[in-house]
Amino acid sequence: MSPYQLRIILSLHVTPDWKRFCGLDQSTDTWLQTISELREMGLIDNDEYPTDRLTAFVNAICATPLPIKKWVMPKAEDLP
C-alpha cells in the first residue's frame, strides 16, 4: 500500500468531500489508476463511496500501536 493510496483512503474515511479534502490532482493517470485499484480491492464501490472493508481497514490501522524504540547493548561477539 503506497502513501498515495493511504492518503486517498484516509480522506475517504474522514469526509464525504474526500476528493477536495485529499488535495490531489484528479486528472492524472496515477489518480485514475489508484481509484481503479481501490475499487478492485473492494475498498470503494462503483460510485466511489467507501465500503465496509475500507472502514475495517482504517480501523485496523488506527488500532496498530506505535513502535517503541528500544536501545540495547550489543553482545560481545558482535563488537569489532
Q: Report the number of distinct structural domains present in the chain.
A: 1
Inside any domain, residue 36: yes
Does residue 52 form part of some domain? yes
pLDDT tens profile 6-30: 999 999 999 989 988 999 999 999 9
CA–CA dist 39, 6 (Å, integer): 14
- In this prediction, residue 6 carries a pLDDT of 96
pLDDT tens, residue by residue, 26-42: 999 999 999 999 999 99
**What pLDDT digit, counting tens, does each position of 28-80 carry?**
999 999 999 999 999 999 999 999 999 999 999 999 998 888 888 888 888 77
Domain carrying residue 52: 3-63
d(C-alpha 72, C-alpha 53), whole Å:
39
Q: How far is CA 16 from CA 3, 23, 29, 32, in A?
A: 20, 14, 23, 19
Q: What is the pLDDT of residue 70?
A: 86
Q: Is position 30 within any domain?
A: yes
